[in-house]
Chains A and B, each alone.
Chain A
Amino acid sequence: MRTDIERRVLTLLRGGRALERADREAIINQLGPEGLDVLRSIARGDTEVEHEKLRLKAIAALGSDEVQPEESARVLWGLVSEAPPVAVQAVRALGRSSARPSAQLRSLVRDPRTPPPVALAAARVAAEEGGDEVVSELRALRRRLRAYVDSDDSPSLLSIDRLIAQAQSGVRPEGGPRPIA
């Protein structure tokens, strides 16, 4: 039997709404500690949901937690060790979090045991910080991933090349209109 707050959180996760990022963050934080607990529980897999998709959405939502960001970051960091797409979602959510564990995310980039999708997701967060060390770590990642693909123009490698350029210049690629849902 679901509690009220569980039902409310699940309704939100089932989606069908197009929200600006700021609105999304506001709604998430309006859930309060109790609602955020439900989100974390779903993200950890402690609360059963009808589809894995809803767990992924709960993970994504935790990146916007401004009420208990450290608590949510700990949960997300725990999910990084899972398989993609859970780990990828967790890394992205950590990148958005106000309690972003930058050093730990960079360690994911450096660690050769990090699965490529997770390492790439972490590399995107690291590239925003920039600096020579990051550039060096991204180049190392590129060399590692090169072994998985046939050529240098594989999408993952091209994407890392763009991240290296971004980290070197400190300039994020030109933005553009945000997609609409």
Chain B
Amino acid sequence: MATTEQRPASKPAEELITGLIRVGQEPAGSGFRVRVLAAEAREGEPIATTFTHANGAFTVVLPRRPRAKRGAKAEALRIVIEVQDRTGRTVAKLGPVEPGALEDAVVLDADPSSSRSPIPMGPAPVEDLSKGLGPAWAEETAILARHGIRRGEQLVDADLSALADQAGIDVRRLGALRLHAEMSHAPDFDPETAEAFASIGITSREELAGRSPAPLMRAIVATLGPDVDTRRRFSRSKVYGLVGFAKGIDPEPFATPLPVKKVIEDAKVVTDAVLRVAPAVSIITVAGLLNAFNRFQAVADARALMDAAGVGDLSSLGTFRIKGRRVIQPGTYVASPKFVFAAPTFQSDLIATVLAKGGSFKHLSSAKLLDDAIHLVPNPVTDAVIIGSVVEFVEDGKLVIGSDVTSLTIITEEILYSVVNEITYEGRDRSPQPRAPMSPAQAATGNPRNDRNVYSPGSGNTGRDGGTGSPGNGGAAGFGGDSLGPAPDVTIYVQRTPEGLPDLRLGGRRGGSGQAGQHGGAGSDGARGRGASSGACYCHREPGHGGRGGNGGRGGNGGVGGPGGTGSTLKICTLPENIAPLATGRPYFIDLAGGPGGNGGSPGRGGPAGRGGSPGDDSWPWCEEEPSRVGSDGATGTDGSVGPNGARGVDGQFTLQPITLSDWNAVFNQPWIVRLEPWAGPAGSVVHVVARNLTADTAVVLGGASIAPTALDVAAGTLDFTVPAEVPGGLRTVMLRLGGVAGAVYSNTVNFRVLPVLASLSPTGGVPGTPLQLTGSGFTAGSQVRFGSRTLPATFDGATQLSLTLPDHENIVEPAGPVTVAVVNPDAQVSNSLSFALTLDVVVRVKGWRVFPDIWVGGGGLFGGPGPLRDDDDVRDVLMETNKPADAWTPHRVVLQVDPNVGIAVVPADWASSWPIDDVTFAENQAVIMETDPTGAFRHFEPGAVNVYFVDDIDDWTTHAYTYRGSETRRQTFVIYEDTPLLSDWEEAHVAAHELGHVFGLPHVCGDESDVTFGRACTQGNDKDFLMYPSTNFWTDEGNTLTAEEARIARRVARLWHGL
């Protein structure tokens, strides 16, 4: 079972044992527990334990033994090394042996076929069913007792529906009783709580274990109404806790007393310190986090990260050192084992193993060996994780979270630091640069008023003054400053912080400064004054004055400073006894405050003034001149204002989560799904589960249904299961159940996405309005059907069947031909597609018959008696030739397929000559028409066709044809058609088309008093004796059009003859 190679030299006093666990010839994975026991005290506590790494290697440090007294001989220690697999089975053993006699690397071959798992069973149902129930349940428990059910286990094993019928107890009350019996280990799980869960369909621990707490709360509120007590009975933490207890999480076997009051007092000191820095930091209430399930959930998160990195035990890892400015990049840093193996290939082997197996990462892009750690980089990732037994800040080390990292998690037993250390993030002191200043605003354009800045003499003695220059444009306000993203989130799992924590500088970044305001534009110059022109007789001139210069534009205001960045979300998970050192240690500094807002932008300067215009000229030097003057300059524009500072960033969030060592141990002993391969697939997929802490009686619970694994390797921690066909599509929860239903323990819950598969269509082709059935798997409530370019609602008949009715002709949209059909699930997953042959023409077969009597005495006719005077050609003329009735229906996609072979129908002697109408029942008509021969075949009736019987006469004095209609669902219709010379060919075809209208469901309705047919006017609004809808009195000269509604009705009914 174990191989020990003796080393020639004795080991040093530092007693480290290193080794490798193998299963077969392959290195075992992580999670094997190595226990070192003193040989003399085998049944006692181990003197050291550790877990294996991903490559099966381990390092265990033996505690130093007290030195022997001077002169005394040191007592030799003999040890036994036991290896337990992930389920707790002992799979290898070595010793007794002296540690010094061990080889550098001990190789132990594990036996995977050992004894049963010692995984603790979940809570068993209550022994006495009536325990904890009040008088309100006395009647039910008495009835159950009469049926021999007194123990909780009996009720858990019972078929609730059958028992409810048998015992006459409401099945929901019975379900509540069962749930109460199974959840007796959960605190405060009273019968009323059980009844509330039963009211939303949860009647077993397994059903409760598989639910997510948040949707569960919503369901409770939706069912029980808004007045339900969500503060106490169904508070968030309570429901979370109940789901945890339903899973069988039970800290009792690992119980560590939790000094709740002291924890809360100590925690308040810590949180107050945080609030001193940033009063607006939101604190997650510590009291709520004392809930067992929340504590477990916190540890579970750490476990998931450790599992992913292939780390089984923190204590076997070495120290992760922060020296100088250490920038943490995305990925997982696993501290090197405590002892570097003598074998130089150990670490490269570890990396090779991690790379080959991907650790537990599905995609690992790189693994690098650092001085003190392995850096695993899954792809893609923006998270960073540090795992080590100790995180030590050396000298003035500073842990800097890299700029690409959005969250950092530290999982360690201990953090060692000195006062100068800190945890911060890259670029914390950086703020966004303001935008570059704008060019000054545009100067005034265009000429001054009167367009007089160009010199031109005036026409009189007086020149006009130059125009005033235009003011410059005002400067625009600067743009607001930018903001950088929030500070990265930090989560720290630490058992001990003897000196407290280093400073955590995780406040938000300063916002960027606003842009400077734009400078104002320059004012334009004033125009030159106009000179005076001639003035010979009166030589006195007044040249114009120069115009006033334009004012400069106002400078723009500075931009608003950018908002500060959001502070970090910090979560510290630590032991209750470590909260006191946190509270009483040195006054440390946790900064989660939002970043200050950026400075406002500087103001823009006012634009420069325009210059005054020059005076007008005097054209005649000898004339007396009034003095002219230069225009005054414009004013300089006023400066803009300084922009306001940006808003302060939002303060971060702080959570102090107490966890106990017993929480840690309990979680690490629960069954645990590490991953599914694949995470999604159709029914029938084989899913490979990588898990921890399995036993031989492990079952998979997929979407609430138990499935037996198709393969199970307890030692390797893997199992396979096949996704059943009846599991609905979408995200389905997957749990593992260890043990029977009663007393089972459940794993964490992960999701598997069931993908839809379309296997067949029935029928595979048809017309619009066809009822369509889709068979496959992975369908779910809300599944829709993609039919060509449209997505149609469908009826969910089950995970393997959907049904829908195709839209009618008016809404089908698709052209005739193959149309792709696929199933679209509510989670946007689309199945494969199949082809449906869409036909737009509704084909109706029509069969004509000539009717003769079976007895005739006196000669004549086909059988020696009378029959219709029409021969086969006459019948074909009526149905198929010019003015054929098909002309009326074909444009509306009802296509008549007339059989050119006219049949012979033989009927009772008195019917052929005169078909009875009023005196004979429909049953008799059917019996005559649908008469069968000895083989059961119809003699003169063609199923699926419209049968038209041409008789000599009809026993009626008003009409020439009658349509017999069967039921809507089984339409066996036939038409009796009189052989009458009273109708023209045109009218005969008209009558035939009209009768087919009846066949297709159109009744007699009089629409308009002006309607005239067969020479008869419609006499009243609802003249039932009139022929159908007015527009279906179709023939070209009567407006051969059907309304859309008429055509829709006709096609719907006609589809029945299409075999649909």
Contacts and interface: CB of A to CB of B under 8 A. Distances in A.
A97 B911 CA distance: 20
A121 B854 contact: no
Interface string A71-111: 00000000000011100110010011000000000000000
Interface stretch (B76-84, B504-512, B783-791, B962-970): B962-970
Contact of B908 (A17, A120, A125, A179): A120
B342 interface: no
B923 A173 contact: yes
B853 interface: yes
Interface string B833-862: 000000000000000000001111110000
B123 to A, nearest CB: 67
Contacts of A19: 958-959, 1025
Contacts of A134: none
B855 A17 contact: no
A100 to B, nearest CB: 12
Given A92-B914, A116-B909, A117-B910, A158 B927 contact: yes
Interface stretch (B380-388, B644-652, B975-983): B975-983
Contacts of A20: 1024-1025
B385 to A, nearest CB: 79
Contacts of A173: 921, 923-924, 927
A30 interface: no
Contacts of A116: 855-857, 909-910
B960 A121 contact: no
B906 interface: yes
B906 A17 contact: no
Interface string B127-139: 0000000000000
B931 A180 contact: no
Contact of A18 (B925, B934, B955, B1025): B1025
Contacts of A61: 957
Contacts of B1015: 16
Contacts, number: 175
A96 B866 contact: no
Nearest to A51: B981
Given A53-B981, A180-B998, A84 B917 contact: no
A140 interface: no
B651 to A, nearest CB: 80
B855 A53 contact: no
A13 B934 CA distance: 42
B91 to A, nearest CB: 81
A164 interface: no
Interface residues of A, number: 56
A154 interface: yes
Given A116-B909, A156-B908, A17 B921 contact: no
A90 B955 CA distance: 10
Contacts of B962: 179-181
Nearest to B934: A153
A143 interface: no
Nearest to A15: B958
Contacts of B963: 179-181
Contacts of A176: 921-923, 925-926, 966
Contacts of A53: 953, 980-982
B1027 interface: yes
Interface in B845-897: 853-858, 866
B909 A51 contact: no
A83 B925 CA distance: 24
Interface in A100-138: 115-118, 120-121, 124-125
Which of B856, B858, B955 has the largest number of chain A CB atoms within 10 A? B955
Interface string A157-177: 011001000000000111111
Nearest to B964: A179
Nearest to A163: B924
Instruction: Give the interface centre of A85, A120, A153, A158 by most chain B CB atoms within 10 Å.
Output: A85
A36 interface: no
A15 B962 CA distance: 13
Given A13-B957, A57-B957, A124-B919, A88 B914 contact: yes
Contacts of A23: 1025
Given A88-B914, A148-B857, A155 B998 contact: no
B717 to A, nearest CB: 72
Given A115-B857, A174-B923, A176-B922, A15 B908 contact: no
A21 interface: yes
Contacts of A96: 918-919
B920 interface: yes
Contacts of B981: 51, 53
B854 A84 contact: no
Contacts of A21: 918
B961 to A, nearest CB: 7
A60 interface: yes
A162 B981 CA distance: 34
Q: Which of B952, B956, B981 is packed against the most chain A CB atoms within 10 Å?
A: B956
B409 interface: no
Interface centre among B926, B957, B1003 (most CB of A within 10 A): B957
A61 B958 CA distance: 9
Interface string B346-361: 0000000000000000
B188 to A, nearest CB: 68
Contacts of A89: 914, 953, 955
Max chain B CB contacts within 10 Å: which of A19, A117, A125, A158? A117
A17 B1014 contact: yes
A67 interface: no
Contacts of B920: 124
A178 interface: yes
B957 A175 contact: no
Contacts of B911: 155
Contacts of B957: 12-13, 15, 24, 57-58, 60-61
A18 B959 contact: yes
A88 B913 contact: yes
A178 B921 CA distance: 8
Contacts of B918: 21, 96
B1016 interface: yes
B738 to A, nearest CB: 66
A156 B976 contact: no
B1004 interface: yes
Given A88-B913, A115-B857, A156-B908, A16 B958 contact: yes
A38 interface: no
B852 to A, nearest CB: 10
Contacts of B167: none
Nearest to A64: B957
B922 A117 contact: no
A96 B854 CA distance: 25
Given A16-B1016, A51-B981, A155 B857 contact: no
Contact of A149 (B854, B955, B1027): B854
A180 B855 contact: no
A120 B1016 contact: no
A14 interface: yes
Interface of A: 12-21, 23-24, 51, 53-54, 56-58, 60-61, 83-85, 88-89, 92, 95-96, 115-118, 120-121, 124-125, 145, 148-149, 153-156, 158-159, 162, 172-181
19 contacts: A17-B1016, A18-B959, A19-B1025, A20-B1025, A56-B953, A60-B956, A84-B913, A117-B910, A124-B916, A153-B931, A155-B911, A156-B853, A175-B921, A175-B922, A176-B922, A177-B922, A177-B964, A180-B1004, A181-B960
For the complex of A and B, the 5 pairs showing the least CB-CB separation, nearest first, are A176-B922, A16-B1014, A85-B913, A181-B959, A57-B957
Given A53-B980, A120-B908, 12 more contacts: A15-B982, A16-B958, A17-B958, A57-B958, A60-B956, A88-B914, A118-B910, A124-B916, A176-B925, A179-B963, A180-B962, A181-B961
Interface of B: 853-858, 866, 906-911, 913-914, 916-928, 931, 933-934, 952-953, 955-966, 976, 980-982, 998, 1003-1004, 1013-1016, 1024-1027
